[in-house]
Amino acid sequence: MKYESIIGLEVHAQLLTDSKIFCGCSVSYGADPNSQTCPVCLGLPGVLPVLNKKAVEYAVKMVLAVGGTVAPHSIFARKNYFYPDLPKGYQISQYDQPLSTGGSVEIEIPESKAKKKIHLTRIHLEEDAGKSLHSEDNSYTNTSSNVKQKGETLVDMNRCGVPLIEIVTQPDMRSPKEATLFLNKLKQILEYLEICSGNMEEGSLRCDANVSVRPIAQTKLGTKTEVKNMNSFKAVEKALNFEMERQIGIIESGGRIIQETLLWDAEKELIAPMRSKEESHDYRYFPEPDLVVLKFHPQTISGIGGIRSEEKFGTPTITIVEKIKQSLPELPEARKTRFIKQYQIPEYDAELLTTEKKLADYYEECVKNYPNSKAVSNWVMGEVLRELKERKISVSEFKVPPKELASLLKQVDSGTLSGKMAKDVFVEMAETGLSSEKIIQEKGLVQVTDTKEIESVIESVLRENPGEVEKYRSGKERVFGFFVGEVMKKTKGKANPSVVNQILKEKLSS
Ligand SMILES: [Zn+2]
């Protein structure tokens, strides 16, 4: 029998604010444990949370980008549970009145090219909890100043109060592959909006999944399980495949799926049930009494910056949400379509160039300075991406600015460099950050196009190889390549190949 999986995701994305959602503590990654905390995020008695305006704006951006509806009123709620990394004993989240409902993200199935909409149930704001560091964890042994003792657990509160949005999908995905496609799209949108770094390994994008399986023709849903602790895109696909196979195995052997929460173990590549104590959920949600209702009025947002304060915005003719909408950047799909039209490049190129906003920006900046858009596309997809991959860096860390790539390409057009030489110079530019002019000058790399100079090299090559000349003239035209090679050797690769070809042909046929 053939089975399909029914998958719904809950994605937590860390918002790229400078400070936490309810206090002024820094959210930068990699700081010493417990160095970024204050009485508010530690939940000491008598403190009051103050909502971060930027976090609200970022969340609204995401809602609008996926076509969701911003609720005019939403409220924060306390989610109560006991865990060592949650000093307050509750997490401030949103429950029955979330920031938004609806919206969708479109994915493209690679094999069929079919488009499919993954619908969203809601997006809401919440704070993160701290982190328990168990002695078996790598993260534990990486922390500098701690005593390491087997079986010991330490706690780091730096993440307490880090602003998150939780994005909840409907169970629209039918395979682990679709789930990863969705996550990739989501990450791309978050990155275009510049509201989340999308780095799963650093925990700024995390995902839990609800999974069930059923025979393909069946309409009734099977019992679902929840899979947690998937910390990379690879882990998501592996864990979901594992869980799908596990459930099919149980059904086929006549067993029944138990509704439970499971943890993915990336190292052992298997799934294990959470201890029952950890999953006995009774969160006793109730409205957070220390925060007022978050309201989007036509010209203000109230509920931000303390209990009674109101944040006033200018321009009385447009609503706040409308204002944020107008600030949205061009999103990946729109940009891809524009690239195809404006730069006359194949869909494949446009897709690849717009995967990342910074890469798309790089491409456009380069085309501005060197308008042969297809040539630039080839260079960016080929040389630039290869350098980034080899150096394991992002576009923003890349040492060759787009203007410099443009000027390198101009030097090929003007005949200063051959295509081959340009590629070598480019590698040097990526290594040193120097301009192409500087490298050409330092290495004396200018291509020889002077016909007199090339002619004399060719004459000496022909003189030194009378046998080969004889062969060529008797019809073995394949030796032509041998002469070109010799000329290139003598000129250290600097001779202009088309000039060499032309003169060589003349000389050999005379
Ligand atoms: Zn704090």
Instruction: Give me the DSSP letters along 112-135.
Output: T--EEEEEEEEEEEEE---EEEET
Task: Give phi and psi for 36, each to the nearest 5.
Answer: -115, 65
- Cα–Cα distance measured from residue 164 to residue 93, given in angstroms and rounded to the nearest whole number: 9
66 C-alpha to center of ligand 1: Å?
A: 31
251 C-alpha to center of ligand 1: Å?
A: 48
Q: Is 471's pLDDT higher than 50?
A: yes
| Structure confidence at residue 59 (pLDDT) | 97
Cα distances from 421 to residues 152, 213, 388, 457, 497, in angstroms, run 58, 56, 20, 19, 11
158 C-alpha to center of ligand 1: Å?
A: 8
Q: Is 122's pLDDT higher than 80?
A: yes
27 C-alpha to center of ligand 1: Å?
A: 9
Query: Can you tell me the mean pLDDT for 93-113?
Result: 94
Q: What sign has the CA pseudo-torsion 486, 490, 493, 494?
A: negative
Q: Is the Cβ–Cβ distance between 46 and 182 less than 8 Å?
A: no
Least confident of 35-39, 312-316, 469-473: 312-316
| Structure confidence at residue 282 (pLDDT) | 82
Q: Is 100 helix (H, G, I), strand (E, B) or coil?
A: strand
Query: Can you tell me the mean pLDDT for 73-83?
Result: 93
| Structure confidence at residue 312 (pLDDT) | 53
Q: What is the pLDDT of residues 437-455, one digit of tens each?
A: 888 888 777 777 778 888 8
Q: Is the Cβ–Cβ distance between 224 and 256 less than 8 Å?
A: no
Query: Can you tell me the mean pLDDT for 487-510?
Result: 83
Domains of the chain: 7-206+282-287 (no CATH), 332-434 (no CATH), 451-509 (1.10.10.410)
Q: How many CB atoms lie within 10 A of CB 269?
A: 11
Q: What is the pLDDT of residues 144-163, one digit of tens each?
A: 445 556 677 889 999 999 99
Q: Is 302's pLDDT higher than 80?
A: no
318 C-alpha to center of ligand 1: Å?
A: 34
Tokens 């309409």 label which residue?
Answer: 219
321 C-alpha to center of ligand 1: Å?
A: 28
Query: Can you tell me the mean pLDDT for 472-476?
Result: 86
138 C-alpha to center of ligand 1: Å?
A: 26
Neighbours of ion ligand 1 (CB under 5 A): 23, 25, 38, 40-41
Query: Can you tell me the mean pLDDT for 375-398?
Result: 95
Q: Is the Cβ–Cβ distance between 15 and 55 less than 8 Å?
A: yes
26 C-alpha to center of ligand 1: Å?
A: 8
60 C-alpha to center of ligand 1: Å?
A: 23
Q: Is 277's pLDDT higher than 80?
A: no
- Cα–Cα distance measured from residue 301 to residue 320, given in angstroms and rounded to the nearest whole number: 7
Q: Is the Cβ–Cβ distance between 378 and 412 less than 8 Å?
A: no
Q: Is 213's pLDDT higher than 50?
A: yes
Greatest Cα pair distance, the chain, in angstroms, is: 100
pLDDT bin (cut points 50, 70, 90) of residue 47 is very high
| Structure confidence at residue 308 (pLDDT) | 44
131 C-alpha to center of ligand 1: Å?
A: 15
Q: Is 113's pLDDT higher than 90?
A: no
pLDDT bin (cut points 50, 70, 90) of residue 191 is very high
- Cα–Cα distance measured from residue 361 to residue 393, given in angstroms and rounded to the nearest whole number: 16
Least confident of 302-306, 368-372, 416-420, 487-491: 302-306
Task: Give phi and psi for 486, each to the nearest 5.
Answer: -65, -40
84 C-alpha to center of ligand 1: Å?
A: 17
Strand 300-302: give its sheet, edge to edge.
73-74, 294-296, 300-302, 310-312
- The mean predicted confidence, pLDDT, of the chain is 88
| Structure confidence at residue 297 (pLDDT) | 72
Q: Is the Cβ–Cβ distance between 417 and 378 less than 8 Å?
A: no
Least confident of 153-167, 322-336, 465-479, 491-505: 491-505
| Structure confidence at residue 144 (pLDDT) | 47
59 C-alpha to center of ligand 1: Å?
A: 20
pLDDT bin (cut points 50, 70, 90) of residue 94 is very high
Q: Is 484's pLDDT higher than 80?
A: yes
Q: Is the Cβ–Cβ distance between 20 and 163 less than 8 Å?
A: yes
427 C-alpha to center of ligand 1: Å?
A: 45
Task: Give the whole-number percent of the chain exceeding pLDDT 70.
Answer: 91
Give the CA angle between residues 384, 388, 390 to the nearest 5°. 115
Q: How many CB atoms lie within 10 A of CB 283?
A: 14
Task: Give the whole-number percent of the chain exceeding pLDDT 90.
Answer: 61
Q: Is 298's pLDDT higher than 70?
A: no
20 C-alpha to center of ligand 1: Å?
A: 7
| Structure confidence at residue 481 (pLDDT) | 87
Cα distances from 362 to residues 90, 388, 403, 494, in angstroms, run 44, 13, 9, 30
201 C-alpha to center of ligand 1: Å?
A: 23
Q: Output the six-digit token pair for 152.
A: 């010991």
| Structure confidence at residue 276 (pLDDT) | 59
**Which of 141-175 are b and which e, b meaning 16 or more Cβ less than 10 Å from the residue's Cβ?**
eeeeebeeeeeeebbbbbbbbbbbbbbbbebbbeb
- Cα–Cα distance measured from residue 74 to residue 92, given in angstroms and rounded to the nearest whole number: 13
